[in-house]
Structure formats: structure tokens, C-alpha cells
Structure 1
Amino acid sequence: MDDEMRVGVVLPTGAAQWDGAGGPRGLIGFGARAEEFGFDSLWAGDTLLKPMLDPLALLGALAARTERVTLGTAALLPAFRRPVQTARALASLDLLSAGRLVVTVGAGFPNRSEREYAVSEVPWERRFGRLDETVALWRRLWTATGPSDFHGKVLHFDDLPQGLAPHRPGGPPVWLGGATPAALARTGRLYDGWLPYPPDHRDYRPGLADVRAAATGAGREAAAITPALYCTVLVTPGREGGREGLDAFCRATYGVPLEVAETIQCLVAGPAEEVARRLRAYSAAGARHLVCRLGVADARGQAEQLERLAGLLPVLRGLG
């Protein structure tokens, strides 16, 4: 991993965000404009709790429309999908994008994702073990040169057919979202990147230190794990309106006020210099890939924020 700061943008995949943006196909143009503006990556989220485009379908469309940007999930919840079929879907996407895929995965959120697991006919219990074994199974299918088997504590397959080999040997990088002590340890042992969303930059450095210590303890190179940050960003023309705008976004997205959301995740608002100052603190703590969700819910606001954030790219890249 080099020390350059990379900056990506989360695609507004919710059905409520398409109005005025040319419908869902407008997201393909949105992603293409982000690449033209100079962003390094495009990301798509995953939930069954609201109508939104499937992240793999959207990234597949963007693989054909873009040439340079990394295409990522932030985050994919593998429990919603059959693991063997998902391995092939991800390998296909990596092939179609010529090796530009990054797969961030997660296990969901307590008091929120249990319903998603239920409709996916997957038990909520042992979800972390299921997640880790699913990723291990993907890697087996991506690298096996013939039929194989897989036997974990949760997943068991006696006769796996040979899987589709991705563009990159070994498959696309797989990152983990989360910052609990267990998640930090698992990231260091098993994953290729870390994508947390801590509301306080002072929590990032010790978290990254724990990830790297776990990697070293597992015999891995600590520098092989990409340190990233998921943040919601709202760039305002002046000093007024930033918190009010984020409050409206949080209420529309989560049904909670900003005062609640900002205790859980990283939310940054204000004029360009204030946004840069806040993100500089995370960079100083070690973050090297910013995954920026635009903090507005409507299509016009998304387009405006994309352009404003693009204007900050030279400054943000200088944070590395």
C-alpha cells in the first residue's frame, strides 16, 4: 500500500434519490461524471430495508461505462445471497471491470438487520462466523483449479465445482467494515482493508494500531491492509446550514436526528476548508482512502455536492 490519499464517492442508489436524476439509469451517468471529475472510486451500499438498486447490478453497469475508477461495495452483506453463486458474481464483476473491484463486507447492525436476515432465511446467530467463512469460501472458489470441498463451523460443502477465476490472481481485495475489538482483530487476521466510520477521529489511530497488530500476529504484512474511512460529507457555500442539512439527511435516511447519528458514524459538514480540516484529522490518524457519502437525499443536491466535493480533491489528495 502506498501513502497516497484516494477519494471515492458513494452512489445514491435509493429509489427516493432517482427523482429528477433521469431514473435509475441516471446513476450510470452520475458515476461517469464522478470519474471525469477525478474521483478514485465509486461505491454502492446494500440493504433490504428500503427500495434501492442491487449494488452488484449497478457496479456491473458502471464497469462498462467507466475505465479507471475502483468499483466497490460499501458494504455488501453476504448473508443475503447464496455464497457459491455470489463468488461467481463477484468474479464476473472483477473480470468485466478488468480488476477494478473492491468488496467491503459486513454482518449487519443489531436492532436493524435481524429483519433482513429473516427474509433471507439465514439465522442471525453466528453471523460473524458465517461472514468470515463465506469470504474464505469465495477465495477457495476463486483459486481452486478443480473440484474441491469446504468445511467450516457454519458452512459445509462436500463437492464444490471449479469456480470462475477473477481478473486478479486470488480475487478482488475484501475489506471489512466495523470497529469493535473483535472486528479489528478479524480485519487484521483475514481481510485486505478496513472501512470503519468512527464519529471521533481520535478513535481511528488506536483502531488501526489494533488491526495492524492482529495482522502481524497472524504472520501478515501490516501494510497490506488498506486503512479507509466511510464518512458522510456535506460541503456548504458558507458556515450556515451544514448541521441543518445533515439533520435532514439523517432523518430521511435513518429516521433519527443528527444528534443521534453523529454518536455512531462520521458526519462532516461546512464550507470546504472546514470539511478539509475535519478529514485531515482522520488522515493524520492513518486513513488513506476516503469513501464519501454525499449528505443530501435529493438528486439535485447530490449532483451539486458531487461537484463541490470534486473541487476539494486536490486538497484531500494532499492529506496523504
Structure 2
Amino acid sequence: MDIGVLLPTGTAQWGPTDDPRELVAFGRAAERLGFSSLFVNDSLLSPRVEALTMLAALAPATGTVALGTAALLPSLRRPVQAAQSLASIDVLSGGRLTVTVGAGFPGRFGMPLYALSELPWAGRFARLDETVALWRALWDGAGSFQGELFRFADLPPALTPARAGGPPVWLGGATPSALARAGRLYDGWLPYPPDPADYATGLHDIRAAAADAGRPAGDITPALFVSIRIDDDVERGRRATDAYARATYGMPLQDLEQIQAVVTGPADQVVGRLERYVAVGARHIVLRLAAQDLHSQRDQLERAADLIPAVRTAALA
């Protein structure tokens, strides 16, 4: 059972006097507190530290914690260049990289980014899958690649990742198409369904798709992305999470809860809610801490660390 944390790389999570260089110290603190992984968000243009830059800074500053993206948008980068950057982070971290990918969402978090990248919105899922296939070919040392979108007859040697075949690549999303593709093509699944029952259904469908493709179910890591706020005062915690939701997504908490897993309340209530996801199969939980300055983020990090033993014990039940 792995429990990781999302680094607060966006300015919506920084106070007016915060120094973003503290993010490296934040990552080291999370490692000392017993978290299994450090994840970062991605976007083409947004007020946050660029994802791969952040991971490159963390690679030599940490020793054992896994490093990951949640989720990287590969279509918005040159695919060969991205493969080299990811291999570099994997090498610099000693093979600790996990790459969760996605294709973006309709609305302001997806379509405008494709327009800025001069890419069609239509066909984005096929582009995503082929980009990942190209990465894996480069990481395996292939001399050529022939796909529907990318064709390279003579690929020069690329940097070999620390692990044979390259870092594991997970898929975000929970549409029927995403579930089928995760089962056929990817090494893990990182969704954020607000209802544990939906997580259970999705994981069942992924494993069925994997079986149809001749893959063992154990080849796919069942992960979960969830926002949490630990507060003994329930209403105070919800107010803080509401402010976080409005600053980050421009929507109130009650709307965010309809589309993403969000857990607030005293520690025992947060553990109880997380245990429901563990009970239906989640085995790598990535916690996003709902706080709007680095001091509060650090406080929530320490509170969340206290939950790790109980959540891990639930996985053994």
C-alpha cells in the first residue's frame, strides 16, 4: 500500500510571502514523514512550476520516494523531446519515476491548450496512446517507429532509462474508453471518482480489458487521486476546502465534490473514507492537500502522515 502526496506547485497554493524554492524542502519532508511518492500536476501554460522541471529538482534532493506526474499532458510536448526528458529524470532519480498521462478535459483545462499547441482536439486519445508507444520504443532502443501519426525511419540512440523498458506509464480518466485503454496498454490507473463504488466498477472493467488482452491484472497498479483537508472542526475544514476549490478551479466545493474525490473532516473520518477506496482495490493513494499557503500545506502534510499506518493496515484486512 503506497501513499503519496501532490506537491503544491501552483500559485493558488502559495501565500503572498511564500518562497517556491521551499517546494524541494517540502518534498524532502514528505519523504522523511513516510510518504511513498511525490506527484506534480501539469499544464501547458498556468501559474505553476512546470512539472518536469519540478521533478528534475526533486530527483537529486530525495533518495527513495517515487516521483510522478498527475497527470502529464504528452500531446502538448514534442514527443521525442518529452521521451528524452522523462528518461533523464528516471536516470537522475535512480529509476523512481512514474508517468501518469492524460489527454486533457473539455473546457478551459483542455481545448485552449491544444489550440495554443496548434494540435487538433479531435483524435486526442489516439495521439496520446501513440505518443506513449513512441516513448516506449525510444526507451527500448528502437531504430525506427511506424505509427498512424508518427513515423521515423531512422531514430538516433536515445538516453536509456534506469529501468528496462522505461518508467511505468499510468493513465488518468474513467470513461469507458479510458478504462479499456488502461487495461490494454497502461501500467496503472489514476482516477479521482467521488464514489468508491465507481472506483470498484472502473477497476473491474480495467481488469476485464487486461484479461481480454492477455495481460495479468497484477500488471496494472490501481491508484487513486483524492483531495483531503484534515480538521477537527468539520465546518471550518469545509470552508477552507471551499476556498481552495474556488482558487484552484473557480468552482465551489459542492460542485467539485460531484466530479472529484474530496474528503474533509477529523482524521478518523478521513481515514474511514479512504478505507472505502482501499476496500475496493486502491493500492496507491495520491493525496492533494487542500491548503492555500505553504505553511498550511506543511501542517496538512504532517497531519496526513499520521494517517499512513491506519490506511496501510486497511489494505491488509
Shared fold (TM-score greater than 0.5)? yes
1:245 and 1:270 map into 2 onto residues whose CA distance is: 11
Structure 1's unaligned 5+ residue stretches are none
Secondary structure of 1:115 counterpart = helix
The one of 80, 83, 90 aligned to 1:87: 83
Amino acid in structure 2 at the alignment position of 1:79: S
User: Equivalents in 1 of 2:240, 2:56: separation in Å?
Assistant: 32
| Superposed CA offset, 1:157-186 (max 9, x none) | 232212211000000000000000000000
**Contact kept? 1:20, 1:300, Cα under 8 Å:** no
Verify the 8 A CA contact 1:21 1:299 in the aligned structure 2: no
Query: How far does residue 12 in structure 1 lie from its aligned partner after superposition?
Result: 0.3
Which residue does 1:128 correspond to in 2? 125
SS in 2 for 1:73: strand
Secondary structure, counterpart of 2:314 in structure 1:
coil
153, 160, 170: which is aligned to 2:155? 160
Map 1:136-151 to 2 at 5 A. Answer: 136-144=133-141, 148-151=143-146
User: In the alignment, which residue of structure 1 is the partner of 2:5?
Assistant: 9
Task: Note the 1:143-292 alignment, pairs <5 A.
Answer: 143-144=140-141, 148-292=143-287
Counterpart pick for 1:114 among 111, 115, 121: 111
CA contact (8 A) 2:210 2:217 kept: yes
- The residue aligned with 2:34 is 38
Cα distance 1:50–1:162, how it changes in 2: closer, same or farther (>3 A)? same
Counterpart CA distance in 2 for 1:116 and 1:124 is 9
Preserved contact between residue 59 and residue 92 of structure 2 (Cα < 8 Å): yes
Alpha-carbon distance in structure 2 between the residues aligned to 1:156 and 1:129: 15
**Structure 1 residue 22, shift from structure 2 partner:** 4.7
Give the counterpart of 1:66 among 54, 62, 72. Answer: 62
* CA–CA separation in structure 1 for the residues paired with 2:45 and 2:271: 33
* Structure 2 SS opposite 1:319: helix
- Alpha-carbon deviation of 1:20? 5.9
Tell me if the contact between 2:13 and 2:291 (Cα under 8 Å) persists in the aligned partners.
Answer: no
Instruction: Give CA deviations for 1:277-300 in whole Å, capped at 9, x if unaligned.
Output: 111110001000000000112222
Structure 2, unmatched stretches of 5+, are none
Does residue 76 (structure 1) correspond to residue 62 (structure 2)? The answer is no
User: CA contact under 8 A between 2:15 and 2:292: conserved in structure 1?
Assistant: no
User: Structure 1 residues 95, 187: CA separation in 2 closer, same or farther (over 3 Å shift)?
Assistant: same
Hey, what's the Cα distance between the residues in 1 that align with 2:186 and 2:104?
17
State the SS of the aligned residue for 2:234: coil
Query: How far apart are 1:138 and its partner, in Å?
Result: 0.2
CA shift, 1:110, in A, is 0.8
Q: Deviations over 1:122-164 (max 9, x none)?
A: 221110000000000000000025xx22222222223221221
Please tell me whether the aligned partners of residues 18 and 26 of structure 1 are also in contact (alpha carbons under 8 angstroms): no
- Between the two proteins, the alignment pairs up a number of residues equal to 314
Cα shift readout 1:21-54 (whole Å, capped 9, x = no counterpart) = 7522110000000001110000000013521111
| TM-score (normalised: structure 1) | 0.95
Calculate percent identity across the aligned residue pairs. Answer: 58
| Alpha-carbon distance in structure 2 between the residues aligned to 1:162 and 1:19 | 44
More divergent stretch after superposition (232-241 vs 208-217):
232-241
User: Root-mean-square deviation (CA), in Å?
Assistant: 1.3
Matches within 5 A, 1:19-34: 19=15, 22-34=18-30
Q: CA deviation at 1:219?
A: 0.9
Partner Cα distance (1:21, 1:303) in 2: 15
Q: Distance in 1 between matches of 2:58 and 2:219?
A: 27
Say yes or no: does 1:105 pair with 2:101.
yes
Whether the 8 Å contact between 2:100 and 2:190 is mirrored in structure 1 is yes
Partner letter of residue 13 of structure 1?
T
